[in-house]
Amino acid sequence: DQQVKQNSPSLSVQEGRISILNCDYTNSMFDYFLWYKKYPAEGPTFLISISSIKDKNEDGRFTVFLNKSAKHLSLHIVPSQPGDSAVYFCAARSGTYKYIFGTGTRLKVLA
């Protein structure tokens, strides 16, 4: 049973435009959410996080939105750059230590 779902396996966006990556979850007890970026042949890199008590967190070009009623999380990248091309994973924290990861969305930013 996939508790964290990334329904779009891939996404292509033109350079300079907005990239929106989506993540849905089923467990209302999740209290902390994260996004990771992964380049080929490297491990995931922590990008940005949000606590369940907030609905938005911004860090430079990256903004994460949380809609608790819809159990939906999204990552906005504005403006998108070719270096943003990577696989993006969302993750949700369950309890004190356990993170449930989505299957990832491959973002391709076209120059």
Partner 1 sequence: DGGITQSPKYLFRKEGQNVTLSCEQNLNHDAMYWYRQDPGQGLRLIYYSQIVNDFQKGDIAEGYSVSREKKESFPLTVTSAQKNPTAFYLCASSISLNQPQHFGDGTRLSIL
Q: Which residues bind partner 1 (CB under 8 A)?
A: 2, 4, 32, 34, 36, 41-46, 49, 89, 91, 93, 96-104
Task: Find the shortest distance in angstroms from Cβ 4 to partner 1.
Answer: 7
Residue closer to partner 1 by CB (options 5, 68) is: 5
Residue 2 token pair: 């996939």
Task: Find the shortest distance in angstroms from Cβ 40 to partner 1.
Answer: 10
Residue closer to partner 1 by CB (options 80, 88) is: 88
- Residue of 110, 78, 103, 79 whose CA lies nearest to 25: 103
Residue closer to partner 1 by CB (options 45, 81) is: 45
Task: Find the shortest distance in angstroms from Cβ 53 to partner 1.
Answer: 15
Residue closer to partner 1 by CB (options 5, 79) is: 5
Contact 63, 3 (CB under 8 A): no
- What does the DSSP 8-state code read for residue 84? G
Contact 24, 5 (CB under 8 A): yes
Considering only CA atoms, give the Rg of the chain.
13
Helices (H), the chain: none
Task: Find the shortest distance in angstroms from Cβ 76 to partner 1.
Answer: 19
Question: Can you tell me which residue has the tokens 């508790």?
Answer: 3
